[in-house]
Amino acid sequence: MTSKIRVRIVTAAIVIIALALGFGAGSLIAASSDPGSSGDPLVSKDYLDNTFRPQLEAAWDAAIAAREAQLEANLQAKIYEALGA
């Protein structure tokens, strides 16, 4: 075998071993983490408490207020209709 071929074989072997070690380490890290736990949350509690919840409550309040206004208008119309006004 020539020297160039040996260098290519050794280089290929080193690359294959490095890739195998990299994938192995990545698998270990992924297996050891617990997604969604307090140590690795999918969404932080701070975000839920300080951003998402107020937005959700504001949207809910707006929807309730709109429906309430609609029902009051319908009730008022029924009252005027019943009184003959």
Tell me how crowded residue 41 is: count the other CB atoms within 10 A of its CB: 13
The answer to whether residue 8 scores a pLDDT higher than 80 is yes
In angstroms, rounded to a whole number, what is the distance separating the alpha carbons of residues 74 and 81? 10
pLDDT digits (tens, 9 = 90+) for 26-73: 777 766 666 666 666 777 888 889 999 999 999 999 999 999 999 999
* Cβ contact 42:35 at 8 Å: yes
* Residue bearing tokens 């119309």: 77
Start-to-end Cα distance in the chain: 108
